[in-house]
Amino acid sequence: MYALVDCNNFFASCERVFRPDLIGKPIVVLSNNDGCVISRSNEAKELGVPMGALAFQYESFFRQYNVSVFSGNYVLYGDMSNRVMDLLREFTPKCDVYSIDETFMELTGFDYYNLVNYGAEIQKKVKQCTGIPISVGIAPTYSLAKVANHISKKYPDKTQNSYVIDTEEKRVKALKWLPVKDVWGIGRRHAARLLKHGILTAYDFTQLSDDWVKRNMSVIELRLKKDLSGIPSIQLDEIKPRKSISVSRSFERNITEFNYLKERIASFSVICAERLRKQNSCCNSLMVYIQTNRQRKELSQYGKSFLMQLPFPTNSSIELAQFAQQALQLIFKEGYSYKRMGVIMMDFSPVDQLQLSIFENSNPKHVQLMNVMDRLNNSFGERKIKLASQDQKRVWKTKQEKLSPCYTTKLSDIIIVKA
């Protein structure tokens, strides 16, 4: 059996832990540069605030309904996530962190446990020790655990935030309840295709023939179909790594200088490279794009992207920064004022399954160098170790006008209790 533990409205819940006066009141958390809503409390959802809502369009709405607005405090959220995951490891040593607010727990050897009570115990422990509310779904496969988690989150009063699919009757009932578009692993394109063929629920999907799924989708969806049928067929590492990694920014002012953009694209590439190394991947292609300020109609407009096939797979910050700068050189035009740019890494290969070339490959010396850089930056923070192509004095600051204190990671922000 597997358990999926999901932190409810995680970013908003983290803010509420240290602001108990906001319990029962609407909260939203904004993305980088306070752009759009990326987390909502249940109260904000009930008011009709959509995910991805543009903050500037909802300013009057937030004031009218007394919605508390926070800038994304990712240092705080990361630390709270680590605390939750450490508690979960007390219940089973086999935990696989899937995202900042989700983890799968393998419950091998729990045959004689009352799993409903065990899930409730997990939920109680995490809530008591961190203040973060969670939902627990338990089932014999990864995908069914995801379905069980959906049910526990949708009906918290009936399930006490813990639901177990442990019979065929429960499995069928759950799959008939879940819309096919909400099935874990079925993307928007496949969901639209399934709806056109009258496949409305997860149960309908499991009734399709293997040949049809393989012919119209892929072998991954075929495994998912079997997994939903109760036959363990999915390995978490098959779907866990990202298919692309991107970093982009809107500048505080319009930029005309090529050297400024060149330094920024190097810094963006370094961030992407760090993320690639964390998931043990290399990329085989990257895209760089630049865009002028569309809101300034009086200015000349220009936007361009360039997709570069790399001569070899790599996750070296040095090599990826060089390739990205080459791509930027090809699309940059003098005489324009640029407002936004970004880089996207794509076409990943696992580091232990690289196809080497006879003529050109990634510099093997970079592997050890990158390991040292990652360890130092993880220890000292704020990317103390940089490439020569980066501005050594510049620390990228995003707009965070509503940032909460880092209660758990900075002594200056620690809560003072007056007794």
Q: By the 8 A CB rule, do 34 and 55 touch?
A: yes
Decide if pLDDT at 393 tops 70.
no
Structural domain spans, the chain? 8-74, 77-237, 244-380
CB atoms within 10 A of CB 375: 11
CATH class of 8-74: alpha beta
Taking CB atoms within 8 Å and a gap of at least 24, the contacts of 198-207 are: 201/175, 201/176, 201/177, 202/147, 202/174, 202/175, 202/176, 202/178, 202/228, 203/172, 203/175, 203/176, 203/178, 204/180, 205/180, 206/175
Strand partners, 307: 287
Q: By the 8 A CB rule, do 132 and 12 touch?
A: no
Decide if pLDDT at 86 tops 80.
yes
Decide if pLDDT at 241 tops 60.
no
Q: Band of the pLDDT at 355, cuts 50, 70, 90?
A: low
What per-residue confidence (pLDDT) applies to 401?
76
Compute the average pLDDT of residues 248-258. 84
Identify each DSSP E strand in 84-237 by its residue range.
95-99, 102-106, 134-139, 162-164
CATH domain 77-237 topology: Alpha-Beta Plaits (3.30.70)
How far from chain centre, in Å, is Cα 244? 11
CB atoms within 10 A of CB 374: 16
In tens, the pLDDT along 184-194 reads 888 778 888 89
Per DSSP bridges, beta strands 68-71 and 27-30 are: parallel
Q: Which residues of 82-114 are buried (b: 16+ CB within 10 A; e: fewer)?
A: eebbebbeebbeebeebebbbbbbbbeebeeee
Q: By the 8 A CB rule, do 98 and 106 touch?
A: no
Global pTM exceeds 0.75: no
DSSP, residue by residue, 331-373: H--TT--EEEEEEEEEEEEEGGG----SS----THHHHHHHHH
With a pLDDT cut of 90, the percent of the chain lying above it is 41
CA pair distance 295, 171, nearest whole angstrom: 51
What per-residue confidence (pLDDT) applies to 319?
92
CATH code of 244-380, in short, is 3.30.1490.100
Per DSSP bridges, beta strands 338-350 and 244-255 are: antiparallel
Q: By the 8 A CB rule, do 407 and 413 touch?
A: yes
Decide if pLDDT at 234 tops 90.
no
Kindly give the interhelix angle for 365-380 and 317-331, rounded to the nearest 10 degrees.
Answer: 90
Share the mean pLDDT of the chain. 87
In tens, the pLDDT along 170-225 reads 999 999 999 999 888 887 788 888 998 899 999 999 999 999 988 888 888 888 99
- Exposure of 96 in the CB half-sphere (CA atoms within 13 A): 14
Q: By the 8 A CB rule, do 9 and 22 touch?
A: no
Compute the average pLDDT of residues 239-267. 81
Q: By the 8 A CB rule, do 377 and 275 touch?
A: no
Q: By the 8 A CB rule, do 100 and 10 touch?
A: yes
CA pair distance 110, 117, nearest whole angstrom: 12
